[in-house]
Amino acid sequence: MPGMLAGKIAIVTGGSTGIGLATAKCFASEGARVFVTGRRAAELADAVAAIGPGATGIQANSADLADLDNLYARVRTEAGRIDVLFANAGGGSFLPLGEITEEQYEDTFSRNVKGTLFTVQKALPLLADGASVILTGSTAASGGTPAFSVYAASKAAIRAFARNWILDLQGRGIRVNVLSPGPTRTPGLVGLVGPGAVEQQGLLDQMAAQVPLGRVGEPDEIAKAALFLASDHASFVTGSELFVDGGAAQI
């Protein structure tokens, strides 16, 4: 039986670890040919090996426009089109109001807002009519988190992109949706508090206590939601925000 993405060409940015890697694996298992990007060559090579046959890794920083041009030149040559674009690359850090620096602001908005904007805009010539574009949001944009305002603001911008881009893309049948995970056990999340295992588990426990389901999410759970948005099962879903958060943003 063919997979949900059989014959599709998919791009997953930030696909070396965490949610991006889990989603790339999921897309590949459902029949897609997957191109993944990452900033670190060694992690990217490991990810491609984990995803399996048919995966292609392209080292790229999504906030670097030259890197994006190289990415899409490769995709044009090797695949000719894009059916699914998961603009997932991004990140953030903790700093409370009063201690926010220009460097933190520039880094966060460059990775999350600039990177997402130009990842999608530069893909437009390759996006097939009827393609699915998925943007990574966050429950942080829907509520308050101490010392996380810059990250939250950047993810609120992502939500605004989807609402407006579906109007810009009228006539092409391209769907644009936001996938907003809640607290999820990823290297990026636990790394916010440093490399210590005790501190990392403490952060996960603190976040789990605020989730109605009583636990944090796993990357595979987010990937399954991304698969739905990527597939024809979501053919009448666009401009939406899909929360995969254990209920955290709903209370």
Active site residues: 151
CB 146, CB 120: distance < 8 Å: no
Residue 123: name the closest of 69, 159, 63 by CA.
69
C-alpha separations of 171 from 62, 88, 158, 167, 232 in Å: 27, 25, 22, 9, 18
Residue 162: name the closest of 128, 129, 133, 126 by CA.
133
Q: Per DSSP, what are the bridge partners of residue 241?
A: 178
Question: What number of CA atoms fall less than 13 Å from residue 123's CA on the CB side?
Answer: 32
Q: State the DSSP code for 77.
A: H
Token pair listed for 142: 């829907």
The three-point CA angle 212-214-220 to 5° equals 100
Burial class (CB in 10 A: 0-12, 13-18, 19+), 204: middle
Cα pseudo-dihedral 133, 223, 181, 196, rounded to 10: -130
